[in-house]
Amino acid sequence: NAGVTQTPKFHILKIGQSMTLQCTQDMNHNYMYWYRQDPGMGLKLIYYSVGAGITDKGEVPNGYNVSRSTTEDFPLRLELAAPSQTSVYFCATSGVVGEKLFFGSGTQLSVL
């Protein structure tokens, strides 16, 4: 079982460039989340989705956009990348609110 798949695993961006982090799940989960993990800061929720066509902001949404056209995919878009967006990004899913999250293996992004 693939579970939650994130691509790429590593990426380096130049300041001002844009890119999309991909997240795909094969568990038919309705809930999907994007977190960023900064050292000493724990995980912060960027955006989340409760189903196809529905997205909402989390704690730190500025500089990011998401879409959810299918149940399986929840891409995270960075526009005009800034050094402050250097982080490790985790996509996660859950089948039911309050139930455990299934995490992808993360994308390590550096903006230089």
Partner 1 sequence: AQSVTQPDIHITVSEGASLELRCNYSYGATPYLFWYVQSPGQGLQLLLKYFSGDTLVQGIKGFEAEFKRSQSSFNLRKPSVHWSDAAEYFCAVGEDTDKLIFGTGTRLQVFP
Q: Which residues bind partner 1 (CB under 8 A)?
A: 4, 31, 33, 35, 40-45, 48, 50, 56, 58-59, 90, 92, 97-98, 100-101, 103-106
**Rounded least distance, CB 59 to partner 1, Å:** 8
Q: Which is nearer to partner 1, 15 or 50 (CB)?
A: 50
Identity of the residue, 33 or 111, whose beta carbon is nearer to partner 1 in the bound complex? 33
Cβ 106 to partner 1, closest distance in Å?
6
Supply the minimum distance, in Å, between the C-beta of residue 7 and partner 1. 14
Pairing assessment for the beta strands 54-57 and 42-51 based on DSSP bridges: antiparallel
Separation of alpha carbons 43 and 76, rounded Å: 16
- Of 89, 107, 96, which Cα lies nearest the Cα of 50? 96
